Structure 1
């Protein structure tokens, strides 16, 4: 049994622009998963999946826009991040494990006609969910992410992966700042640091880059199987990558070519910002989501 770490609630006091009520679901082995659930319960759900090393705080500017348009905004914290429980050892985490946790939660919530909004690790997990249960998803909006399956790691990512493995310090808030063009306030940087109150609580954040299946990796067969499903996914699939992300630049091309719902989709666009586009261009990302939802008939 893994050792579960729960971040003290006082760490999340006075978060800027984050007034959302907490919701919790207990997963297998007693792991508690936190999620935001805003807007009408009978509205079509927009599932916002964050990446590494952020949490649902990343979507704070987009959630109100989605709710105002009449949709249900659902934003979980992946296990190891945000208000969700953390596990104390890097070996407690795996790519397949993250997909299984999120699938268990989606099924428990019984989400249907989902519009997936994903970026970074949110896309690695989210696109695997689409492949595992495509009948639950009505559309996908992808920014600065992908579904790698054994390709060589881009130099910028290889550098980041080495940093996550070997750096004696791992300053989460400063990492977020380095991957945004907008100057974050001190309170915002502190909000990204908030979930990680101890060295052990950062185990998930530390291991995530090493789990990305670039090069030889145990997850490659599962990725290839997921691609087979995506190559038949004909529902709206919109790419809105940013113009200043050195890691994912150009990564939208394979989706436009291989995913039927992305071919000849007039909603593709380029957003202005760095890797964490939710901080740099939240209105542009939200607009892509809402237009894609309408294209899906929601």
Structure 2
């Protein structure tokens, strides 16, 4: 397993030129980067499945140029963080608790939480657990409720078939379908992704045993069935986010077919009528691959306009 950013292939390393840092969170080794002035407002960039901090590589630079502190963790199971091989390690509650532990370890205050994909349920859960650490929140192609569920996730083919008990470990574990083919299909500029991004995701998941989270985490997506293992947690999340009065912004890929903006971005505005946006950018589900720098500019403007920012 690659231990630090310095050990990545040179073509990947040059696109994510930061210093590796590690924290112990609930007994696990979590990798993160922490760049910018330590006393500046921190922006916490949170990824989902099957990505890691590298997804935010083009977003980091505009935030640093704006004088902000940028913290980008790799969720346990991804990137350069420890990769438990037991599916039991990868519950939504465990991943949320890992982010809470990182917030406490770094003593982050006045944080802007930026939540994408599973970074939404985990990051928002951490925010609700440590509300005193939060200054603002941004959501991107994510959700925090039971209904509506995504028609993409409801579909038998390819999603539910791909995550069936035997098919999931075979396709996503043995053959690494998610960081390769799955991400390729979820960006707009596919040739650009092949040339600039794909190797950054496949290179950190070379071992089938290290890909456990890519096929176990999707099974926690609630689909409105009695067997949903996270129904109680998502009910808690929706109730909690409805009570938040933090400054908020909504950024979405206009081509997103996993969480279509007319349904899911609109739902965030129903929950937070005060939220900025929706700021639509070029992008499907992994919108950072197409519009990473533009997202960084939007976030820099948002954080710069927060009360007490000096702007």
Task: Tell me the TM-score normalized by structure 2.
Answer: 0.86
Residue 221 of structure 2 is matched in structure 1 by 212
Q: Is the 8 A contact 1:161 1:209 kept in 2?
A: no
Q: Would you say the 8 A contact 2:22–2:30 is kept in 1?
A: yes
| Cα displacement string for residues 183-234 of structure 1 (whole angstroms, at most 9, x for unaligned residues) | 2144631111011121110001111111122323232222222222222212
Hey, what does 1:163 align to over in structure 2? 162
Residue 23 of structure 2 corresponds to: 25
Q: Give the whole-Å Cα distance in 1 for the aligned partners of 2:163 and 2:203.
A: 18
Is 1:119 the counterpart of 2:116 in the alignment? yes
- RMSD over aligned Cα atoms: 2.0
- The answer to whether the aligner puts 1:290 opposite 2:300 as a matched pair is yes
- Cα shift at 1:23: 0.2
Cα distance in 2 for residues equivalent to 1:214 and 1:295: 37
1:243–1:271 contact (8 Å) kept in structure 2:
yes
1:8 deviates by 5.2
Distance in 2 of aligned mates of 1:267 and 1:155: 24
Q: 1:271 to 1:89 in 2, by over 3 A?
A: same
Distance in 1 (CA, whole Å) between partners of 2:301 and 2:196 is: 32
- Summarize the Cα distance change of 1:266–1:78 in structure 2 as closer, same or farther, 3 Å threshold: closer
Cα deviation, 1:77-111, whole Å, max 9, x if unaligned, reads 00000000101122331111100111111111111
1:12 corresponds, among 5, 8, 16, to 8
Gaps of 5+ in 2: none
Q: What is the aligned residue count?
A: 289
Shift of 1:121: 0.8
Contact 1:116–1:126, Cα closer than 8 Å, also in 2? yes
What is the aligned counterpart of 1:181 among 178, 188, 206? 188
Which of the numbers 252, 256, 278 marks the counterpart of 1:241?
Answer: 252
> 1: CA distance between counterparts of 2:122 and 2:154?
18
TM-score w.r.t. structure 1 length? Answer: 0.90
Distance 1:230 1:275, change over 3 A: same
Where in structure 1 are there 5+ consecutive unaligned residues?
A: 1-5
2:269 partner SS: helix
Q: State how 1:1-298 maps to structure 2 within 5 Å.
A: 6-7=1-2, 12-14=8-10, 15=12, 16-29=14-27, 31-149=28-146, 151-156=148-153, 158=155, 159-165=158-164, 166-167=167-168, 168=170, 169-171=175-177, 172-182=179-189, 183-186=192-195, 188-216=197-225, 217-249=228-260, 250-259=263-272, 263-297=273-307, 298=309
Contact 1:34 1:76 in 2 (8 A): yes
Once residues 139 and 160 of structure 2 are traced to their aligned partners in structure 1, the CA distance between those partners, rounded to angstroms, is 22
- Residue 3 of structure 1 aligns with which residue? none
Q: Provide, for residues 4-62 of structure 1, a one-character-per-residue CA deviation record: whole Å limited to 9, x for no partner.
A: xx545586231141111000011223x11000111000010000001110100001111
Do the aligned partners of 2:52 and 2:75 also contact (CA within 8 Å) in 1? Answer: yes
Partner SS state of residue 115, structure 1: strand
